[in-house]
Amino acid sequence: MDVRWERLTGPELKALAGRGALPVLPIGSLEQHGPHLPVWTDSFIAHALSVEAAKLATDVPAIVLPPLWTGLSEHHLPFGGTITLDHATLHAVLRCVVRSLQAQGFTRLLIVNGHGGNIDPLNVSVRELAHEFGMPVVVTTWPNVAPVEIAKALTTQPGIMHACEGETALWLALDPGQVRHDKIEEAAGGNAGVQAPAGFSRFYSFAERAPRTGVKGDPRAATAEKGQAMIAAIATNLARAMRDPVLWSKPEKVWQA
Cα–Cα distance for residue pair 223/198, rounded to 1 Å: 32
Instruction: Please give the pLDDT value at position 195.
Output: 87
Residue 72 lies in a domain: yes
Residue 217 lies in a domain: yes
What is the phi/psi pair of residue 216, to 5°?
A: -115, 120
Instruction: Please give the pLDDT value at position 189.
Output: 75
Instruction: Please give the pLDDT value at position 240.
Output: 98
- Can you say how many angstroms the Cα of residue 219 is from the centroid of all Cα atoms in its chain? 20
Each residue's pLDDT, cut to its tens digit, for the chain (257 residues) gives: 899 999 999 999 999 999 999 999 999 999 999 999 999 999 999 999 999 999 999 999 999 999 999 999 999 999 999 999 999 999 999 999 999 999 999 999 999 999 999 999 999 999 999 999 999 999 999 999 999 999 999 999 999 999 999 999 999 999 999 999 999 999 987 778 898 899 999 999 998 988 889 999 999 999 999 999 999 999 999 999 999 999 999 999 999 98
Residue 252 lies in a domain: no
Residue 251 lies in a domain: no
Residue 249 lies in a domain: no
Cα–Cα distance for residue pair 130/88, rounded to 1 Å: 17
One-character DSSP codes across 161-199? -BSSHHHHHHHHHH-GGGS-GGGHHHHSS------PPTT
Q: Are 117 and 43 in contact (CB under 8 A)?
A: no
Instruction: Please give the pLDDT value at position 1.
Output: 81
Instruction: Please give the pLDDT value at position 34.
Output: 95
Domain range for residue 79?
A: 5-243
Whether the pTM exceeds 0.95: the reply is: yes
Residue 257 lies in a domain: no
CA distances from 31 to 76, 83, 91, 214 (A): 6, 7, 19, 10
Number of domains in the chain: 1
CATH code of the domain containing 177: 3.40.50.10310
